[in-house]
Amino acid sequence: MDNRAGEMETFVKVIEHGSFSQAARDLHMSPSAVSKLVTRIEDRLGTRLLVRSTRQLQLTPEGEMYLRRARTILDQIDETDRLIGGGGQAAPRGKLSVNASVAFAQVFLIPNLPRFLRQYPDIELELTQTDGIVDLLEERADIAIRSGLLADSNLMARKLLETKRKIVASPDYLAEHGIPQTPADLARHKCLRFNFIKGRNFWPFTDPQSGRRFEQTISGDFLGNNGPLVKAMCIAGIGIARIGNFHVEDAIKRGDLVEILNDWTADDVETVHAVWAGHDHLATRIRAFIDFVASCVKEA
């Protein structure tokens, strides 16, 4: 009998480690045996799963599909063992890799993660903070938490938060440079931008009188790669920023930042989702984390 589950586990290890040799050490096999096993999978399926080079292994579209399915099946096998062995109760366990935007992580995750880890002691949590675009397969992440439109139809998502984006500046900056009365006035101001956003030189607005939506060109001498960095520079008086309310509401209440152009940003809404590779069966550790984060956002 062939061992399809063993083949899947080997393939997943190869992708997780990024090399045959490292996967072989983890599986206590020889690199040649691991390579032959992957080739056997490809021969049986009649398609290439990996593009091999001297520097890296690149998944083909078929390889990405096989990886997603393999992880799902291995999770199901693991949970079945735990379910039967645990008298019908499968406790969440195993490694969980989460990639979250920096601001969301600092506001909602980091203050609550100790409680999550105490609640689920069998989960090994790996958290990465970044505001750039994330490829779940390339980053080897189980869950990504991101704001904006969902483009990849192969991903599943759950909405965690919907919040207004606000145009803000420090009192010192406004005292020195004046308060913009319309979006057109921003042309004479320094605006803080994100260096990973394609439309980083434009901000969207809605005319409060006509309801017309338009984009205003903005410029400035500072770009940052995450929300807290841009927020810190804004508080320091370097320029005007456009940031989600959940991230700046405390600074506004303290008087560190002042909201401006409020009438022009009524439709500027930021939606935050938890995103994961789509499949019918969701591992209990992934479901537990998403449910936990959703409750933290609701309680905030």
Q: Which two tokens stand for residue 174?
A: 């406004």
**Minimum mean pLDDT range among 64-73, 160-169, 277-286:** 277-286
Tell me what the pLDDT averaged over the chain comes to: 87
Give the CATH number for residue 117.
3.40.190.10
Q: Taking a C-beta distance cutoff of 8 angstroms, is the pair 226, 103 a contact?
A: yes
CA distances from 266 to 113, 165, 204, 213 (A): 33, 9, 10, 11
Shared domain check, 156 and 280: yes
Q: Which domain holds residue 54?
A: 4-86
- Residue, of 178 and 53, whose pLDDT is higher: 178
Instruction: Tell me what pLDDT residue 56 has.
Output: 78
Shared domain check, 101 and 52: no
Q: What confidence tens digit (pLDDT) does each residue in 202-221 have?
A: 999 999 999 999 999 999 99
Shared domain check, 34 and 82: yes
pLDDT higher than 70, residue 281? no
Q: What confidence tens digit (pLDDT) does each residue in 171-202 have?
A: 999 999 999 999 999 999 999 999 876 657 89
Shared domain check, 261 and 238: yes
Q: What confidence tens digit (pLDDT) does each residue in 71-126 have?
A: 888 888 877 777 665 544 567 888 898 999 999 999 999 999 999 999 999 899 99
Q: Taking a C-beta distance cutoff of 8 angstroms, is the pair 92, 288 a contact?
A: yes
Shared domain check, 99 and 146: yes
Burial class (CB in 10 A: 0-12, 13-18, 19+), 139: middle
Q: Taking a C-beta distance cutoff of 8 angstroms, is the pair 268, 165 a contact?
A: yes
Shared domain check, 176 and 142: no
Instruction: Tell me what pLDDT residue 242 has.
Output: 96
Shared domain check, 275 and 262: no
pTM for this entry: 0.72
